[in-house]
Chains A and B, each alone.
Chain A
Amino acid sequence: MKNSNANKALFNRDPILKVTGLNKVFGRSKGFFGKSTSLVQAVTDVDFEVYPGETLAIVGESGCGKSTTARLILRLIEPDSGNIIVDGMDISKNDALELKHLRKSVQMVFQDSYASLNPRLTIGQAVMFGPRTLGLSIVKAREIARETLSNVGLDPTRFEGLFPHQISGGQRQRGNIARSLAFRPKIVVMDEPLSALDKSIEAQVVNLLCDLRDQYNLTYVFISHDLNVVQYIADRVLVMYLGKVVEIGDVGSLFSNPRHPYTRALMASVPSRDPKIRTQSAPIMGDLPSPINPPSGCRFRTRCPYAEDICGAEVPLLTPQKSAGGNQVACHMEKIGSGHSKGGILDE
């Protein structure tokens, strides 16, 4: 329970990353004859904070906006509105200097290790590239690259001169991690860093990520759909559904006492650990609705077993729950007098 104690100390500090009112709509362009084309509401009103040294996991199904959120944090895509404050500096406005600061202190590791390395650069050159752009000499950059490579478990004398296609997927992902760490960032955003790896390699990389977090004092924003990995690695968890945050909280209380019906369904959908115990019926039916015309009110209501009229009429706000260990939940059932027949029932 080392982690929960660490967390309490963390909350007293200032956040290293603060995101407020983040919005992104894709497909804004007007169609033929000025007709508006369909808009994809990828991320809607997302707020969260990340404290130094902690790992915030963002979970949700594909299309829920988790990767978009990651890209917005790095300004790889431009937000429509909202503020992103990294280390006290608002980087959501377009300014080259601030962007340079951002890229130095926030780095990203992508899912596809092959696509995210330049095929014409050796691993050594790819890792050197970052320090070089920061203006370091070749000698110094090479030194940093070699050190970083050996810290991710790639022997520099062997791997420095190899091209991405010459090494295995696990080694490539290590190379990618080294590439991002060569900037000596404060925050590393990881978008499904494990999902392209073989099962027998996964544990190696998770151990490595935990070691590096301690070694470099890193803060992780960890995007994953694998709840087992999330529970293992994260300090806090943010659950997204169709572009909105439905629940956010401490990993311990979120996994032991999930509040939002979607969080509960997500957890119940994880396949069994034991062949003797099998899931008898699916926790929720249907697929994620299209984000082009998301349901009114609570976006989960079309799949929610508890949905009532109020859920379609009013958007539930993310509110902290005293009894849920400070977790914030966006559900009408959480509030007495919200108009839902089960309003406040979870608090009793």
Chain B
Amino acid sequence: MSDPLLEVHNLSVLFSNAGHEIHAVRNLSLTLQTGEVLTILGESGSGKSVTLNAILRLLPENGTTVSGKVIVDGQDVFAMTNREVRAYRGAKVSMVFQEPALAFDPMFTVGYQIIETLRAHRNISIDEAERRALELMELVRIPSAKVCMRRYPHEMSGGMRQRAMIALALCCDPKVLLADEPTTALDVTVQIQMLVLLRELQRELGMAIVFVTHDIGVANEISDHVAVMYAGRVVECGAALDVLGNPKHPYTKALLESSIHGTDRGQRLPVIPGAPPDLAEMSQGCSFAPRCALANQYCLRELPDLRPVTTNHLAACINI
């Protein structure tokens, strides 16, 4: 296999505020190949969004300690100067946010914001930028794109805004698109349109996508590879068919079993007892141990490493 496009090595993110320390991400490693969709699946507070923000260096510098390495296309992201980071964001890696209404500036038309972004990154004329913006709007299948260019964000529906958001993210032909729960704010009928669109765009443009979601169904629809996160750590990763089809880690198993399906009607749902842990009070053992049916004394003592179950399927559990 060629060198991976995106490599994250032992990423740790520690937020500290007035004596409180929160380990949002601990020793996270990921690799992403060109043209691949990697899904980070996890509940709120599991560190999935923080991971994306760390890749783009969007985390606040105050009170945040980041360690580890992020290498994109051979470049070390944490070693970049501010100037280099500006060139890197958007051009190499860009991001689609959960709430497109908040990501756009309400004072400017959508078309203007795309043109502005194009001109900030590339030395092109307004006419050329306009042509390119229109192309992008058409690429994301916005009907009557020319009219939509002149619309303000609030004049568009949620689905159209999210499409425009994707167009904005694609301005500079990024190699990696980070998508932070891009369908969570959308209705199911629009969500599926967006998932199909992202899959098509990924094939057409040959880019790689890191897709963050808490929804197993969405992960089923889009992923090539899946990394399951729990309390700031990856607990299981591998090909989507392995992780989602044949999960090994007790958390992934329990999460899939307890997800509600209409056909289970009449049967009692299996549940995961307890609640996700407080990241400010982390034990030294496996963070899932207090909720795990398989937990024993060893689980409480040491943090399990990711170990191969089969060649490309890893899980962090000592009981496998």
Contact = CB atoms under 8 A, between A and B. Distances in A.
B157 A287 contact: yes
A281 B196 contact: yes
A225 B220 contact: no
Interface string B188-218: 1111110110000000000000000011111
B304 interface: no
Contact of A200 (B195, B245, B254): B254
Contact of A3 (B215, B264, B265, B270): B265
Contacts of B215: 199, 271
Contacts of A272: 217, 220-221
B195 A271 contact: yes
A228 interface: yes
Q: Which interface class (under 10, 10 to 19, 20 to 34, 35 or more) fits B?
A: 35 or more
Given A228-B260, A228-B262, A278 B158 contact: no
Interface in A288-335: 288, 290
Contacts of B255: 199-200
Contacts of A251: 265
A82 interface: no
Interface stretch (B1-9, B59-67, B271-279): B271-279
Interface string B206-240: 00000000111111110100000000000000001
A227 B240 contact: no
A265 interface: yes
Contact of A282 (B193, B261, B273): B193
Given A3-B266, A170-B275, A273-B217, A279 B196 contact: yes
A269 B189 contact: yes
Interface string A179-223: 000000000000000000011111110110010000000000000
B241 interface: yes
Contact of B260 (A61, A229, A274, A286): A229
A275 B220 contact: yes
A265 B192 CA distance: 11
Interface size range of chain A in the complex: 35 or more
A168 B221 CA distance: 30
A261 to B, nearest CB: 12
Interface in B143-199: 143, 157-160, 187-193, 195-196
B102 to A, nearest CB: 16
A10 to B, nearest CB: 17
A204 B244 CA distance: 22
Contacts of A225: 187-188
B263 interface: yes
B262 A199 contact: no
A48 interface: no
B192 A282 contact: yes
B259 interface: yes
A49 B86 CA distance: 59
A266 interface: yes
A268 B191 CA distance: 12
Contact of B221 (A207, A266, A278): A278
A270 interface: yes
B43 interface: yes
Given A61-B189, A275-B245, A203 B265 contact: no
A54 to B, nearest CB: 14
Contacts of A168: 275-276
A200 B272 contact: yes
B317 to A, nearest CB: 16
A35 interface: no
Contacts of A204: 271-273
Contacts of A282: 189, 192-193, 196
Interface string A98-139: 000000000000000000000000000000000000000000
A305 to B, nearest CB: 13
Contacts of B241: 275-276
Contact of A232 (B43, B262, B291): B262
Contact of A265 (B189, B217, B264): B189
Given A3-B265, A206-B269, A198 B43 contact: yes
A265 B158 CA distance: 18
Given A271-B221, A287-B157, A266 B189 contact: yes
Interface of A: 1-3, 61-62, 168-171, 198-204, 206-207, 210, 225-232, 251, 255, 265-266, 268-276, 278-288, 290
13 contacts: A2-B266, A61-B187, A199-B215, A199-B258, A202-B258, A202-B259, A207-B271, A227-B188, A231-B263, A231-B265, A271-B217, A278-B220, A282-B193
Given A227-B262, A229-B262, A287-B190, 4 more contacts: A199-B259, A273-B217, A285-B193, A286-B143
8 nearest A-B pairs in the assembled complex, by CB-CB distance? A231-B262, A271-B217, A287-B157, A61-B187, A203-B258, A282-B193, A203-B269, A287-B159
